[in-house]
Structures are given as C-alpha cells and as structure tokens.
A and B are shown apart, each in its own frame.
Chain A
C-alpha cells in the first residue's frame, strides 16, 4: 500500500522555466511533508518542508504548496537551472496508524533541466 505517490517518474523542462513536481498521499494523519533532492551516487539532501498548518512555504527558488483537501503537494522550482537535474523525493510523516514521525517516501521523480 503506497501511502505517498509520485505518479510522474520523470519530468523534462527548459532552463529558466518553471518545474512542477507533484506528490499525492492517502493517509489523512500525515501532518508534515518534505522534499528531498538526490544526485546519482549521493544520499538524498533535504530541500524544503511544510507543516499541515500552512499551505505554502517558500525558500528562494523553491516553493512547496500543500492542498490538504486534495491530499496533494507540489514543489515549484523557478527559474529551473541545469544543476537542478536530479531525482526528487517527497516524504510525509504524522501521528496515528503506527506512523509516529516515521517518514514515508514516494518513488521519486527524475527532473531533467535542459540548457
């Protein structure tokens, strides 16, 4: 049972344009969401997070949006740069159903930013 889903395995955008990565979740007890970025042969790097009391969090070129009613979050990168090319994982955690803060990861989306 995949509680966190990233339905697009890959995304390709032009440099300077906006990249939008999507993530859906099924567990209504999740209340904290994170995005990680992973380059090949490296571990995931924490990028940005959002608590369920907010619907938007911004950090430089990265903005995460949370739509609790739709159980959907997205990561916007603008403007996209070639160095942003990586695999992006969304993750969620919350209380209840044995979660107790454990992070549940999606399958990842590979972003390619073309020069």
Chain B
C-alpha cells in the first residue's frame, strides 16, 4: 500500500470538460508535487508545493490549475484540455523540497485521456 494515493486512477474527458485529480499523502511530508509522464519522455515536474505554498511552476499552461488546501492534500484542476495533454499524471511527496538528499515518493498515478 502506497503512502500517496491518487484518484481517479483513470479519467477520460472531453476538451470542454472540467475535472479534477486528487492526491492525498499519509507520510507526514511537507512537500507535494505534480509530475507528468508522456510516452517516451522523462518525468516532467509541473508544480511543487511546500507547506501549502506553491514554490515552483514549471511553465505549465493555465489550463492546469493546482490547489493545495493543506500539507496532506493536493489537487490538479483541469479545464479545456487538449488531446496532447493525455498522459500519466503523478502526485508525489517528500519530507522537504529544498535540500539535496530529497527522496520523493510517488502515488500510482492518474491516467488521463482527453478526447
């Protein structure tokens, strides 16, 4: 059982829909992340939150909107997505975000298909 849980595991949405991905970590960590994995590409960091404050936004289009209401929960709100946004979206957490020696623990991912 993973300490980072993501829902839903699979999501199919139309380009005009609004949906959200949810992540919860049970590890007592202070930092949470959204990563994107597309086919044959390295994992791409999207957002970093530390103690509920966004500390990094890696040039992600505004159609992706993160929300971190507390240090245990992270959402990714999706609206007017494009088919090329279809990918595996991974949530992760770590004890801290700003020091080396940082081990990140991932959830099982949410498979998103935009039609």
State the A residues within 8 Å of B (CB): 2, 4, 31-32, 34, 36, 41-46, 49, 51, 89, 93-95, 99-103, 105-108
Contact = CB atoms under 8 A, between A and B. Distances in A.
B42 A43 contact: no
Contacts of B109: 41-43
A106 B40 CA distance: 11
B42 A105 contact: yes
Nearest to A29: B100
Q: Is the interface of B mostly helix, strand, loop or mixed?
A: loop
Interface of B: 2, 4, 6, 40-43, 45, 48, 56, 90, 92, 96-109, 111
Contacts of B45: 102-103
Contact of A89 (B4, B43, B103): B43
Given A94-B100, A105-B43, A41 B111 contact: yes
